[in-house]
A and B are shown apart, each in its own frame.
Chain A
Amino acid sequence: MLTSPHLLGIKDLNAESIDLIVKTAKEFKEVLNRPIKKVPSLRDVTIANVFFENSTRTRLSFELAEKRLSADTINFSASSSSVKKGETLLDTVNNILAMKVDMIVMRHSSPGAPHYLAKHIKANIINAGDGTHEHPTQALLDTYSLREKLGDLAGKKIAIVGDILHSRVALSNIYALKKQGAEVRLCGPSTLIPKHIQSLGVEVSHDVKSTLAWCDAANVLRIQLERQQIKYFPSLREYAQSFGITRKMLDELPKEIVLMHPGPINRGVELSSDAADSPHSIILDQVENGVAIRMAVLYLLASRG
């Protein structure tokens, strides 16, 4: 049983809860490989997917997870709603809840938006990404995918490469990996690494080659141009040359490492095409595991009734 009725971030999750979610996801992955990929567990649950920010993979993944669990779903995206007419977040969500909705999956551009909602409404809330803060289900599916490849993560060396400053995936992954006893090293240009990030118990490097040689797995993040109001590096070309990962770099390593990316990939920037499509890459496994992880999260939160 999870300790909280919400999944707001990995920060408030303990190691046992992470284990429970991953163990449950493993059984859901088996369900997803059956001829009939559906279980009736959530047939009396209604879920609203409330997306104030664009998303393809996360929204599709949640929607599919909900349908595989037999939940009723409604979808809401800010671009086609009354939010444009000036409605507040709390009013919008309360109106959705008035239609007898049990769970809210929300993505919002403001960090802390789901935490604020959790204080004011009576429904299970799942954070599907809040600004540059957290993206818990992504970190959980990364954990699951890593465990499939590396086994227990205690003592394993995991590198997170790229735009750490704007990445909710990085923060959630740091929390998740540290709670499982992994060593974490961040790598990127100094302008894209937040000050004082070492206080979370991670190492910082600015050399991608030595970082790749050090790690068992590298999680490569997207350069988030849409969140960058100022220039953090001279050009994409220069970034690709200094921090981009190519197949040649992977082949020259003394051991085989696991390559991950939360998507969408900027091919030719943080990852070259031949690296993204190489056998090192588990990017599509991450997407597959994402549905199973989200089923596990929805199932475990809904079980609290």
Chain B
Amino acid sequence: MTRKLILSSPLLEITISRLCQELIENQIIGTETVILGLQPRGIYFAERLAAELSKHLENPPALGKIDATFYRDDFRRGGPLSPNSTEIPFLVENKRVILVDDVLATGRMVRAAMDALNAFGRPAKVELCVLIDRIYSRDLPIHPDYVGKSVNTLTTEKVLVEWTEQGHEADKIWLITQ
């Protein structure tokens, strides 16, 4: 097993800052836009984005967490089943929702999250922001609107994201080859 560093500080901060500029350039308005981090690991990236946005916007978008475990398509097919908490302390009806995840690979998790989101109301628009886009590994027709870094990977490779919030020494994103 070999691991290769693909993103870390200070480039990571620059990437997050650039994604925020892109969001602002796309006219996100705090009161009409909400950010939803995908459980379990997208929430850390969502928190970083929200913190960065609050530096530039008077009314930054509200931040929530969404868990899509109960909407997965691999239930009874060996998929994970322990749920994480969903916290959406605001209405999503008619809001512009930015779904945030750390790594986009097959797109199945995003599909499940969009299903979960519908249980809370009908958003005006849903967009997808990911830190790492594993291009060429998609199983579904899902495309991100905001991408931190695109990575070309093989199916035997994995992307591992380590955040300081999880107890790691530094924020690091690795490409792991089995």
Contacts and interface: CB of A to CB of B under 8 A. Distances in A.
Contact of B76 (A27, A31, A303): A303
Contact of B67 (A27, A35, A37, A300): A27
B81 A1 contact: yes
A35 B119 contact: yes
A34 interface: yes
A79 B71 CA distance: 38
Interface in A1-52: 1, 20, 23-24, 26-27, 30-31, 34-41, 44-45
Contact of B83 (A24, A34, A37, A45): A24
Nearest to B83: A27
B70 A39 contact: yes
Contact of A24 (B71, B82, B120): B82
B118 A36 contact: yes
A44 B76 contact: yes
Contact of A27 (B71, B75, B85): B85
A305 B77 CA distance: 7
A299 interface: yes
B115 interface: yes
Interface residues of A, number: 24
B177 interface: no
A302 interface: yes
B86 interface: yes
Given A27-B67, A305-B76, A38 B81 contact: no
B82 A40 contact: no
B113 to A, nearest CB: 13
B80 to A, nearest CB: 9
B121 A35 contact: yes
Contact of A299 (B67, B81, B115): B81
Contact of A23 (B71, B82, B115): B82
Contacts of A302: 75-76
Contacts of A24: 82-83
Interface residues of B, number: 18
Contacts of B81: 1, 299-300, 303
Interface in B95-150: 115, 118-121
B31 interface: no
Contacts of B71: 39-41
Contacts of A27: 67, 69-70, 83-86
Interface string B62-96: 00000101110001110001111110000000000
Contacts of A40: 70-71, 115
Contacts of B83: 24, 27
Contacts of A30: 85-86
A292 B29 CA distance: 37
A234 to B, nearest CB: 52
Nearest to B79: A303
A261 B50 CA distance: 46
Contact of A34 (B76, B77, B82, B120): B120
Contacts of A31: 70, 86, 119
Contacts of B77: 305
Nearest to A31: B70
Contacts of B86: 27, 30-31
Contacts of B115: 40
Nearest to B92: A35
Interface string B151-178: 0000000000000000000000000000
Nearest to A20: B82
Interface of B: 67, 69-71, 75-77, 81-86, 115, 118-121
14 contacts: A24-B82, A24-B83, A27-B69, A27-B84, A27-B86, A30-B85, A31-B119, A34-B120, A35-B121, A39-B119, A40-B71, A41-B71, A304-B76, A305-B77
Given A37-B119, A40-B70, 12 more contacts: A26-B85, A27-B83, A30-B86, A34-B119, A35-B120, A35-B121, A40-B71, A40-B115, A41-B70, A45-B76, A299-B81, A303-B81
